[in-house]
Every structure is written in structure tokens, then in C-alpha cells.
Structure 1
Amino acid sequence: MAQEGCPTMKPVFLLALLAALPGCNAVLSEGSADLAGIGGAALADAVTDNGAVAAGIGIGVQSAARAGLQYTQRRLQRAEQDRIALTAGPLAPGAVARWSIAHSLPIAEDRAGQVTVSREIGALSLRCREIVFSVEAEKKAADFYTAIICQNGNRWKWASAEPATERWGALQ
């Protein structure tokens, strides 16, 4: 006899398997939403026989899963940006330093590269810097990007807005 709850164990297992594949953000994003939809449908089927209610539960669970994944990806992006800003902040213009980050969650690749301050920007108490940084890739040449960081108290923080053009990962 099958145990109750087994249909939801498979989607959870598959989601964990997808999470173990860093760099597969598209697969993880779509896969987690699809698996949440399947899990939500299984839950809805156990709760009601009404098709409209079941569909609403499935869509709600799917939306919550997608929002949770996007929140997590934004936090990982912010951690990468903070690491680059932290490394670039104390540099003198023209000096080069190495930055790297090892993520604790397996849904993002660990990143590394170099960063330099190309110029100082600001006046009075507004202290900002334009930086140039690289992102190394395993099987290709490093990509280079620019950003602005600003001093916020004792910390340097990312100040560049999300551009409307294509970007790597979502870091810039």
C-alpha cells in the first residue's frame, strides 16, 4: 500500500536535484515553478474535488515558489555585489585586487575575478567610485563590466541601477 504524501515527495526530490546543478538558473526557475504547480495540484486534489479551487491552489503554490526563488536569487546577487564593493572600496585608483565569493546555496555558481577603481566621483560627503571588474568563467575568457559603488558610513555599497540592456547573471 502506498504511503500518503508520496506524490509530493517526488517533486521535492526533483527540486533538490535541480538545486544541485549550479548555473542552470533557467532550468531551476522553470523547474521549481513547475514542480510547485504539480505539488500544489496534488495538495488541491487531496483537499477538494472542485476544479476551479484546485486550479487556484495550484497556481497559488506555483506563484509562491517562483517568488521565493526570485527572492533567493536577488539575495545571492546582492552578496556578489557587496563582495565586489567591499574589495574595491579600500583600493587606490588604478590598484587591482582579486574578489571572490563562495555561495552557501547550490543554486548559484561561485564567482571570482579582479576589480580596479577607474575614477573617484562625488563631492563633499558623497564619496563614490567607478569600478571595472572581471568575472572569470571556467571555459572562456573573463568578461569585464563597470559599476558605481558609494561609501555608506564605513561600508562601500553597490550603487549602479539595473540596466535595461542584457547583463551577465543580473549582477550589474
Structure 2
Amino acid sequence: MQKKMLCAGCLEPGLKPRLKVRRQPEARRGWGNATVLVALSLALASALSGCSSFYTEGATAGAGIAGAALAAKVTSNAAVATGIGLGAVAAARAGVQYSERVVHRNTQDGIAKIAGPLEVGAIAPWSVTHSMPIEDDEHGRVTVSRTISAGALDCKEIVFSVDHIATKNVPASSAFYVASICRDGENWKWASAEPATERWGALQ
């Protein structure tokens, strides 16, 4: 009887480390897989220049995976895990929308800078190279159609084109838009987004 108790006492310490050793690799493997998926999603999304919809979906998917991995690590409560996941997705979408607004604002200010010094009827080329490759670099022409006001409030109406060069399967084309610009000190700023929401979407 004493031998059995001694053996049980000897085995007991040996069993605990085995259980721990089996559980730790599984947790690490799950966390590692989630990390790899997040990295692949974000890398693929950022690599595709001009695919803003893919960028949006990639960032959202990456946030969802990261949120799920974090939730699994922090809690086993389904409600709390859902909250963490939704919060991560919402934060990712807010970040995507902010980055798109920055890109659009830079494009608008770039056109305004070229158009500001022009006289009515004069035409000048414009081009924008995005530092964040979530949209295609663009170029076109801009002209001042009329002077809206002068003096303390110096504003002009402009017409600008977005020109697409010809490719093997698609002929060259241009799209035209109307907007207003106003002088702000030494700089010219975009006064309004043109009515064409197909260009700026909800992020005017």
C-alpha cells in the first residue's frame, strides 16, 4: 500500500508538466497562424495599388482576424470576444476612411495649386503621385472657367479632366469635373467637392 502511494506521488508531478507542454504549443500555433494571416492580408491589401475596395476589405479582414486572435487570448466569454472583434473591425474601417480622405484632399489641393494662378481660359496640366498606394496616380488638365469673386474673397470656378492613357485593350479617355477654389493667403484651396459623387464617393 505504501509502495502504491509512493508511485502515485512520483507520477503526479510528472503528469502536470506533460499537460502544460501539450497545451502551450497549441496556443502558440493558433496565435502564430492568426499573426501570419493578418500579415498576409495587410501586405496583399497594401501591395495592390489602385484597388481601394480591396484595400478596404483587406484591412477589415485583417482586423477581424487580429481581433479574433486577441479575443481568444484574452477571454473565453463569447459576448466579450464579439465586442473585441467588432471594435477591431470598426477601428480598421475608420483608419481606411481617414487614409482615403487624406489621399482625396491631397489630390484636390494639388489641382487647386495648379489652377489658382491661371487666368480665365488658360489651361495647365496637373498630376498627383500618391505617397500611399491605395489609389492610382492621376493626371489631367485644368482650366479656369470664370472668376466667382475677387478681393477679400478670391474664388474661381475650374473645370478639370482626369485623363486615362490608352492601353492594349482600352482606348484613351477623359472624365471632366467642375469645382470651385478659393485663395487662402498665398495658397489656393479646394472650396467644394464637385457634384460627381462617383469620383469622391461619400468621402468628399
TM-score above 0.5, yes or no: yes
By how many angstroms is 1:117 displaced? 0.3
SS at match of 1:92: coil
* The one of 171, 178, 185 aligned to 1:146: 178
Pick from 39, 42, 45: which aligns with 2:66?
Answer: 39
Q: Which residue of 1 aligns with 2:118?
A: 91
Flag the structure with larger Rg. Answer: 2
Post-superposition offset of 1:35: 2.0
Query: Does the CA contact (< 8 Å) of 2:146 and 2:158 recur in 1?
Result: yes
- How many Å apart are 1:161 and its aligned residue? 4.1
RMSD across aligned C-alpha pairs, in angstroms?
1.9
- Give the Å deviation of 1:137: 2.0
Question: What does residue 166 of structure 1 align with?
Answer: 197
* Aligned counterpart, 2:89: 62
Deviations 1:92-131 (A, max 9, x none): 1111000001111111210100000000011441110000
Distance 1:75 1:48 in 2: 36
| Unaligned stretches of 5+ residues in structure 1 | none
Aligned residues: 171
Which deviates more from structure 2 when the two are superposed, residues 40-49 or residues 130-139? 130-139
More strand by share: 1
Identity of matched residues, %: 51
Contact residue 44 and residue 58 of structure 2 kept, 8 A: no
Distance 1:86 1:158 in 2: 9
Which structure is higher in RCO with an 8 Å CA cutoff and minimum separation 6? Answer: 1
Residue identity matched to 1:72: S
CA contact (8 A) 2:112 2:181 kept: yes
Mapped partners of 2:144, 2:150: distance in 1: 17
The secondary structure found in structure 2 opposite 1:167 is helix
Partner Cα distance (1:104, 1:44) in 2: 34
Would you say the 8 A contact 2:177–2:194 is kept in 1? no
The whole-number CA distance in structure 1 between the counterparts of 2:57 and 2:41 is 12
Q: TM-score, normalised by structure 2?
A: 0.77
2:9 — aligned with what? Answer: none
- Report the AA paired with residue 39 of structure 1: A
162 and 31 in structure 1: CA distance in 2 versus 1, 3 angstrom threshold: farther
- State the partner residue of 1:156: 188
Summarize deviations over 1:51-75 as a string: whole Å, max 9, x none.
1100100000110011001000000
Structure-1 separation of matches of 2:132 and 2:47: 9
1:53 aligns to 2:80 (yes or no): yes
Structure (1/2) with the larger helix percentage: 2
